[in-house]
Amino acid sequence: MTSLNGLVLVCLTYVAFLFLVAFAAERAAARGQGGWLRAPIIYTLSLSIYCTAWTFYGAVGYAARSGMEFVTIYLGPSLVMFGWWWILRKLVRIGRAQGVTSIADLISSRFGKSNSLAIFVTAMAVIGVTPYIALQLQSVTLSLSVFAAADASTTFDRSTAAFWVAFGLAIFTLLFGTRSLNTHERQHGIVIAIAVEAVVKLVALLAVGIFVVWGLAGGVSEMMTRIDTSEIGQWQTDRARWVTLTLLAGIAFLCLPRMFQVMVVENDDDRQLELASWLFPGYLLLMSLFVVPIAVMGLEMSPGANPDLYVLTLPLTLGQDELAVLAFLGGFSSATSMVIVASLALATMVSNHVVLPIWLARQETQAASVSGDVRDVVMLSRRVSVGLIIGLGYLYYQFSGGSEALAAMGLISFAGVAQFLPAMLGGIFWRGASRLGALAGLSVGFGIWVWTLLLPSFGAGGVLPDTVLTQGPWGITWLRPEALFGFEGMDRLVHAVWWSLSLNFIAFWVVSMFTFPKPLERLQGAQMVNVLDNAPATQSWSATAAEAEDLLIMAQRLLGSEEARALFRDEAIKQGLEGELAEPTPAFLQRLERELAASVGVATAHAMVGQIIGGPGISVEDLIAVADESAQILEHSSQLETKSAELTRTARQLKDANTKLTQLSVQKDAFLSQISHELRTPMTSIRAFSEILRDTQDLSLPDQTRYSSIIHDEAIRLTRLLDDLLDLSVLENGQVTLNRATGTLKTIIDRAVQAAQPVGVDPLIIMRTPDAEDIPLETDLDRLTQVFINLIANARKYCNADDPELTISVTETTGRIVVDFIDNGQGIPEGDQMVIFEKFSRLGDNDGSGAGLGLAICAEIMERLGGRISYLHRSSGTGFRVEVTKAQALAAQ
């Protein structure tokens, strides 16, 4: 028989061994050889903290009492793992992207980095998990008592034992878990210790199972026969419980703080999840494979004994001491790993969401950035929290008297943490989820859980008086804890889970629908819901007033001096800066916040960065809220924007109109003085010479003739000018009536050439291609001729080549007829090409023969006719292009 002292020695040796393993792992990681620590297999094994002492001992007891029902506790998580693609994949991505430290952190971060929500979730988690920790204490104590009962040499007091177990676990946890501050610096030591423990408990349980099936029963078929003839030999299952427990176990698997810790917080990449998605269900299968055989054998061989301890008592009573010690170590492993991770996960939550914010708030009156190292505060608060949580578990164990069956305690815990589900899932899948909705759902669910499950679990007369259980509080029967709304006769657990989760979901949904999330919530919501689309991170910080130095000081206090400097240096290099101080760009601030969040949680990190950036009192929420507090403001401002844009547009239009008017007025003045000039100039000659003719007696005859002809020419010039002016005025006012007629282009050009022909010798040679000109037209033939005359006359007048030549070429394209008039003169200077179609624009020396209205008139005519005239940009010669739309041409056919 193994003595109790011997057993304690074994335990201590085992713990020492775990320490060694953990220490070695951390050393390896520190040397950068820890890659294997992130292997998917280690991740999978670390998930095994789902299997606690409850599983190890309790499952057998559960099977002995209720048959196959125990298996639902494993089927639920298996289903969740099988469905990793749906939920877990998204959860771990969010966890990695946001640097989430706990489930409370996730929920608070999702709902606008709200610390009140984080505190609420933390409190719920502590209350929900405490029974579970008590359960571990109980199982270790019970297992010790089994050995004590067989060891006459020692007196064994359960209460004292439980205390020492709790004390030992607390020390163990503190030594293991609170050495590193940053939860993102993976806790390699713990992870590897848990992996080892996972193997130990699996091996222990399999060993007992194999011993039972092949050692005691004598083989599989014999075992099956025994099973069928045993008390639990018939398939007998409460269907409601079967469904509810499967569901509940699946939910708890997602929501338990310790599961969240190993599954989401410690996750490095999707590969880990891929392996775990089938390997972990395999682990669970193996863990539960021998549960029924052990239970059946236990029932058969030691009736009356506590079925929760069959795993131990079977080998013990059969003298298999070594196997019993192994089994004990298995149970011990299950309990220790669970307590370590659970208390650490809870301690992180308590420290990040309760202690630090309070400490920060107290510091806020002083300057937060000058006083001591926050790392010490965080570390201390985490250690104290671990102690408190394990202490709470011990108190619960003492208070509940350790009487409850293990499984029932575990399920109460499950139902408690399951209340996180609506807020968590809603948060990551539904952008409409709001903080108030989450708060409402959590409080409703949690309240119902406390009322219908937790309080009654202490037994009638425990916390709730007997009368409340049977008649309801103050005699309100529909509020009876085990028959809400008068639905009696349901299983207590099914009843509690059903009501708490449904009402939780409904409250969450309804309140979310009718509340409007704050801007930060919406930003975070969008980011989390769309995490798989690789959405860019929320640009939380826009202020850049932050002093880089202050930030560095703060970061040093949280991350440690060297790490913080390295971070700043790294960022400075990224920003292309020299030296060690990175610019506090929004991107960097966000990165910094995320790094800090890994140590102190999202909400706290946010607040701390906020203190430095915005100064106390101004949070980004405020900033954003100012900018777009509600959809109404947004809408209103967008309306204002529209209106102001409209006003600007109107003002611009008015200004334009005014400019146009001014321009018109200036143009009118210029036009009038031009007309005046053009009229007065010939008039001057006429008057001067007529006076000369009148007043000069001795004028020679040739002079008389000459002066008379000048008068005559100037009078003609005057008339032509007046004609042109009238013509232009009519054209510009649109009063012109077009006399449409049919003809061919050829005849028009013929007429124009003829009309432009001067009396006498014409030096200008006109080159034509008569074949191409044979195109029928329907248009105002006279007007078109006028344009052509003008162009030919201009060529004659201004072409300064020695042998002036004008080429008239006709091209027919789709929809248009193009007539080009190109001479071999020097062309028009580029600067003047713009103005040649303006009125009175005469270029170069003026021989007085034109008023500069010709081309202006041509342009007007072509516009009336639906065509256009343009200057041809050419390297040599002056060219004008007349385009006539073909619609007119076709109409003639």
Among the residue ranges 118-126, 211-219, 379-387, 670-678, the one whose residues contact other proteins (CB under 8 A): 670-678
Task: Say whether residue 848 binds other proteins (CB under 8 A).
Answer: yes
Task: Say whether residue 830 binds other proteins (CB under 8 A).
Answer: no
Task: Say whether residue 673 binds other proteins (CB under 8 A).
Answer: yes
Q: Which of 467, 648, 667, 676 binds other proteins (CB under 8 A)?
A: 676
Q: Which of 24, 27, 30, 86 binds other proteins (CB under 8 A)?
A: 86
Task: Say whether residue 302 binds other proteins (CB under 8 A).
Answer: no
Nearer to other proteins, 88 or 822 (CB): 88
Residue in the block written with tokens 């020396």: 845
Task: Say whether residue 684 binds other proteins (CB under 8 A).
Answer: yes
Nearer to other proteins, 695 or 830 (CB): 695
Please calculate the CA angle 111-114-115 and round it to the nearest 5 degrees: 145
For other proteins, what does the binding mask look like between residues 696 and 735, x meaning CB under 8 A? Answer: x-------------x---x---------------------
Rounded Cα–Cα distance for residues 358 and 119 (Å): 11
CA-closest candidate to residue 453, choices 395, 406, 500: 500
Q: Which of 636, 660, 668, 680 binds other proteins (CB under 8 A)?
A: 680
Task: Say whether residue 490 binds other proteins (CB under 8 A).
Answer: no
Residue in the block written with tokens 């193009």: 818
Q: Which of 31, 153, 155, 235 binds other proteins (CB under 8 A)?
A: 235
Residue type for position 448:
I
* Separation in Å, CA 106 to CA 101, 111, 427: 7, 9, 9
Rounded Cα–Cα distance for residues 356 and 607 (Å): 11
Nearer to other proteins, 224 or 464 (CB): 224
Residue in the block written with tokens 């219908």: 452
Task: Say whether residue 846 binds other proteins (CB under 8 A).
Answer: yes
Query: Do the beta carbons of residue 878 and residue 806 sit within 8 Å?
Result: no
Pairing type for strands 765-768 and 740-744 reads: unpaired
Window 256 to 275, contacts with other proteins (CB under 8 A) = 274-275
Nearest-approach distance from CB 6 to other proteins, in angstroms: 37
Nearest-approach distance from CB 83 to other proteins, in angstroms: 3
321-350 helix and 310-317 helix, angle to the nearest 10 degrees: 160
Rounded Cα–Cα distance for residues 728 and 803 (Å): 33
Q: Name the token pair of 425.
A: 């899932």
Among the residue ranges 119-127, 426-434, 602-610, 840-848, the one whose residues contact other proteins (CB under 8 A): 840-848
Rounded Cα–Cα distance for residues 796 and 375 (Å): 98
Among the residue ranges 196-204, 653-661, 677-685, 778-786, the one whose residues contact other proteins (CB under 8 A): 677-685
Nearer to other proteins, 364 or 669 (CB): 669
Nearer to other proteins, 31 or 694 (CB): 694
Q: Name the token pair of 747.
A: 């005849």
Q: Which of 3, 116, 180, 237 binds other proteins (CB under 8 A)?
A: 237
Task: Say whether residue 71 binds other proteins (CB under 8 A).
Answer: yes
* Separation in Å, CA 321 to CA 7, 53, 215, 317, 686: 11, 20, 15, 9, 145
Rounded Cα–Cα distance for residues 599 and 593 (Å): 10
Task: Say whether residue 282 binds other proteins (CB under 8 A).
Answer: yes
Alpha helices (runs of H) in 318-449, residue ranges in sequence order: 321-350, 356-364, 374-400, 406-417, 420-429, 435-449
Nearer to other proteins, 275 or 772 (CB): 275
- Specify the 3-state DSSP secondary structure of 629: coil
Nearest-approach distance from CB 97 to other proteins, in angstroms: 16
Task: Determine the size of the site formed for other proteins (CB under 8 A).
Answer: 62
Nearer to other proteins, 318 or 710 (CB): 710
Residue 538 belongs to what H/E stretch?
none
Task: Say whether residue 277 binds other proteins (CB under 8 A).
Answer: yes
Nearest-approach distance from CB 798 to other proteins, in angstroms: 14
Nearest-approach distance from CB 712 to other proteins, in angstroms: 11
Window 509 to 538, contacts with other proteins (CB under 8 A) = 532-533
For other proteins, what does the binding mask look like between residues 184 and 223, x meaning CB under 8 A? Answer: ----------------------------------------
CA-closest candidate to residue 340, choices 35, 53, 637: 53
Pairing type for strands 816-823 and 776-780 reads: unpaired
In degrees and rounded to multiples of 5, residue 766 shows phi and psi of -105, 120
Among the residue ranges 317-325, 340-348, 460-468, 689-697, the one whose residues contact other proteins (CB under 8 A): 689-697
Rounded Cα–Cα distance for residues 677 and 669 (Å): 12
Burial state string for 515-545 with b = 16 or more CB within 10 A and e = fewer than 16: bebbbbbbbbbebbbebeeeeeebebbebee
Q: Which of 218, 615, 763, 844 binds other proteins (CB under 8 A)?
A: 844
In degrees and rounded to multiples of 5, residue 871 shows phi and psi of -85, 135
Among the residue ranges 309-317, 319-327, 489-497, 686-694, the one whose residues contact other proteins (CB under 8 A): 686-694
Q: Name the token pair of 522.
A: 């919406």
Task: Say whether residue 681 binds other proteins (CB under 8 A).
Answer: yes
Cross-strand bridge partners of residue 776? 744
Nearer to other proteins, 711 or 865 (CB): 711
CA-closest candidate to residue 294, choices 280, 284, 309: 309
Task: Say whether residue 78 binds other proteins (CB under 8 A).
Answer: yes
In degrees and rounded to multiples of 5, residue 227 shows phi and psi of -60, -45
Task: Say whether residue 847 binds other proteins (CB under 8 A).
Answer: yes
Rg of the chain on CA atoms, in Å:
49
Q: Which of 289, 490, 506, 543 binds other proteins (CB under 8 A)?
A: 289
Residue numbers of the site for other proteins (CB under 8 A)? Answer: 67-68, 71, 75, 78-83, 85-86, 224-225, 227-228, 230, 232-237, 239, 242-243, 246, 274-275, 277-279, 281-282, 285, 289, 292, 532-533, 673, 676-677, 680-681, 683-689, 691-692, 695-696, 710, 714, 844-848
